[in-house]
A and B are shown apart, each in its own frame.
Chain A
Amino acid sequence: MLKVIWLVPALPLVGFVVNLFLGRRLGRLAGVLASLLMLGAFGVGLGVLNDLVTLPAHSRVFVKHLYDWISVGSFHVAVDLRVDPLSVTMMLVVTGVGALIHIYSIGYMDGDPRYGRFFSYLNLFCFFMLTLVLAENFLLLYFGWEGVGLCSYLLIGFWFERPAAANAAKKAFVVTRIGDTFMLIGIVLVFLRFGSLDFARVLVSPASSFGIATFPPPGVYTVIALLLLAGAIGKSAQMPLHVWLPDAMEGPTPVSALIHAATMVTAGVYLVARTHVFFEVSGVASAVVLIVGLVTALYAATAALGQDDIKRVLAYSTISQLGFMFFALGMHAYAAAIFLLVTHAFYKALMFLSAGSVMHGLENETDLKKMGRLAKVMPITATVFSIGALAIAGVPPFAGFFSKDQILAAADQTGHVTAWIVALVAAFFSALYISRLIFLAFFGQDRTGRHAHESPPVMTVPLMLLAVGAAAGGLLGLSAVTGKLQGFLSWDLGATAEPARGLSDGVLSAISVAVAAAGILVGFLVYGSGKIDWLALRTRMGSFQRFLSKGWYLDDVYAAVLVAPGKSVAAFLAYVFDRRFVDGMVNGVGVLFQRLASVGRLVQTGLVRNYALAFLLGAVVIFVFVGLKF
């Protein structure tokens, strides 16, 4: 099966092309076709995994050469697909979760006038995402990277009739582009210093051989690592480039689940894990990753607490969870980060799709204040959402407990005690915001004012499958040292050593569970017990509430510091520089010749005799000239 790895990205590409041209005629079949192709890709992916584990443990990598892409002088780039534990893990997440979301969309998007186009974009996204994770060189990865950005733009703005959606799409594209530009510079730098873009040549641990042979000095590693990190920060919505993700919720809910929770936003985590050689060499870059992740995790967890829109809660939650992943990457706990990535893909996709199910039942209502008591009418949605919530809060034995606990444990056991405490605070807020969401939406008083209904099976079955993943996903990696997934990934990311210092695993687990329980308890007391009037509390703390709901006013700060000056510079260039100076030069040349001509044309009198005289004078001049010569 390893040789047919190209089928994995090719199948969604087929779906894209077919649905692009025939989507309108296929009707509902468009969704079925897209889902079947994704399931096919997932099946091929499983076959590839099966073959990969039969390879000897020390050489679990297979590169499938498809064709030479660019070959100019010493610059060679091929379209090569890399199969190794890390890429296979990512591939299975993309195809597996992606397939479920495709199936769910058959029901969710039913009746949309651009039904076929939706699935064609969704398939195109999967193609680019799979290219990204399977790429064997930086350029092909960048191709996928930009491609998913494009699909993100198209899908956020899928309902482009709404100005909010169109603006959110633009914002997402522009903000991530800031990071992408740095990343491209980093890739160019890789080529300049290493003479190649192939992972096999570049991502070799230099160990202690700096300055010898082909290895550039450590400073180069730091610069490249920071440039690549900038790209990862943009794509994974980390501080300070996170502002696009909450707005991206203007897109259809399956898009939020697939692109802005489960897969595309994790591309940054994948990139850092893939290029971890650079970050291991550079302590500075690792520290930056750690701090960015930690700050983002805490920031987004608090901001999520102030959101009233169910999808925006989940969006900030995603940012926070991605922050945890970056935090883990910064501590070189790569396997733990990927483990959280996998479990997060399950439970966050689950929660987004459940939120979509709630919106489906409530005529697209997203305001938590207008929900309540939905558990009565939507039992399946409420159950699966609660499973996802327990997972993200970190309650054992759900998947999130194991992954988050391992990251927290790694923080303590690698000596980052301050960071560990900050992360615990973030974890507390995670449990708090998610229990707030649960209690407001599914329990308490009914504030809907309408008849909600449960969603059709085509939507609830994928939810239940994802719920199984969110509940049992922890089995993949029960322990950081001996877990299945961690062991599988150790070929790429290195094995996790036995903890040398810090508290023991048991104590650490107990502390994380206690923090999660405290968060849920506070959430229950305020929002679930009915003893505290949370609406009154919210009015009393109005300014604080607004501070949180506006995401610490960061959008407004950017608007004042970056957007407003940018707009005035653009206005200056457009209306003053361009109109006065550039246009002035062009028009000035025209006016100059007009003036010259208005003098010169007086020669043309139209009188034949004048021309005859000129003719005569000319002849005389020539005769005189010739006569003088001889």
Chain B
Amino acid sequence: MRTPIAYFLVVSAMLFTVGTVGVLVRKNALVIFMSVELQLNAVNLALVAFSRMHGNLNGQVLAFFSMVVAAAEVVVGLAIIVSVYRRRHSANVDDASLLRW
């Protein structure tokens, strides 16, 4: 018997919520980054679940794309975080608030 699609979606939604809250409440740039990854993986889970439900591979292919792009994005993002840290000796996003009134 197949696991109902709703289970996957609930897990996906929970993962996404955890990621979102992490992005909004945490101050450390690295943690925020990890939270963003959590959100991405929640979406990937939903994609794979739907792919299985519909019985074609489009969703799974898209999930792979998403992973590749996420990996690339992590490279760039971490590089930025490292260079910010080198300059300011802090990875706290609230310290980098130059664009304000």
| Contacts from A to B (Cβ < 8 Å) | 601-602, 604-609, 612-613, 616
Contact = CB atoms under 8 A, between A and B. Distances in A.
B101 A616 contact: no
Nearest to A607: B97
Nearest to A609: B24
Contacts of B98: 606
Given A605-B97, A612-B23, 9 more contacts: A601-B101, A604-B101, A607-B94, A607-B100, A608-B93, A608-B96, A609-B23, A613-B24, A616-B20
Contacts, number: 30
Contacts of B93: 607-609
B100 A605 contact: yes
Nearest to B25: A609
Most buried by B among A601, A605, A606, A608: A608
A608 B27 CA distance: 10
Contact of A604 (B23, B24, B100): B100
Interface string B66-92: 000000000000000000000000000
A433 to B, nearest CB: 81
A616 B24 CA distance: 9
B99 interface: yes
Contacts of A606: 97-101
17 contacts: A601-B101, A602-B101, A604-B100, A604-B101, A605-B97, A605-B100, A606-B101, A607-B93, A607-B94, A607-B97, A608-B93, A608-B96, A609-B23, A609-B25, A612-B23, A612-B24, A616-B20
B20 A604 contact: no
A605 B99 CA distance: 7
Contacts of B20: 616
Contacts of B97: 605-608
B61 to A, nearest CB: 25
Contacts of B100: 604-607
Nearest to B27: A609
Contacts of A609: 23-25, 93-94
Interface residues of B, number: 13
A524 B69 CA distance: 118
A98 B100 CA distance: 77
A613 B100 CA distance: 16
Contacts of A616: 20, 24
Contacts of A601: 101
Interface string B3-24: 0000000000000000010011
Interface in B20-65: 20, 23-25, 32
Nearest to A606: B100
A591 to B, nearest CB: 18
A128 to B, nearest CB: 64
B22 to A, nearest CB: 11
Contacts of B94: 607, 609
A616 B17 CA distance: 11
A608 B81 CA distance: 14
A504 to B, nearest CB: 101
A390 B101 CA distance: 90
Contacts of B23: 609, 612
B35 to A, nearest CB: 10
A406 B94 CA distance: 104
A605 to B, nearest CB: 5
A31 B28 CA distance: 91
A208 B20 CA distance: 102
Pick the 10 closest A-B CB pairs, nearest first. Answer: A606-B100, A606-B97, A601-B101, A608-B93, A606-B99, A604-B100, A604-B101, A607-B97, A605-B100, A612-B23
A605 B20 CA distance: 20
Contacts of A613: 24
Contacts of B96: 608
A304 B93 CA distance: 93
Contacts of B25: 609
A604 B101 CA distance: 6
A605 B94 CA distance: 10
Contacts of B101: 601-602, 604, 606
Most buried by B among A601, A604, A609: A609
Contacts of A604: 99-101
A613 B98 CA distance: 18
A156 to B, nearest CB: 62
A609 B101 CA distance: 16
A612 B24 CA distance: 7
A620 to B, nearest CB: 10
Contacts of A602: 101
A334 B100 CA distance: 85
A592 B99 CA distance: 24
A608 B23 CA distance: 10
A616 B16 CA distance: 12
B5 to A, nearest CB: 19
A604 B98 CA distance: 10
A597 to B, nearest CB: 9
Most buried by B among A604, A605, A607, A616: A607
A458 B93 CA distance: 94
Contacts of B32: 608
Nearest to B94: A607
A494 B38 CA distance: 111
Contacts of B24: 609, 612-613, 616
Nearest to B97: A606
A470 B96 CA distance: 97
A359 B58 CA distance: 110
A607 B29 CA distance: 12
Most buried by A among B25, B98, B99: B99
Nearest to B93: A608
Nearest to B26: A609
Nearest to B96: A608
A608 B100 CA distance: 11
Contacts of A605: 97, 100
A167 B25 CA distance: 78
B83 to A, nearest CB: 16
A602 to B, nearest CB: 6
A193 B24 CA distance: 83
A609 B23 CA distance: 7
B38 to A, nearest CB: 14
A547 B51 CA distance: 113
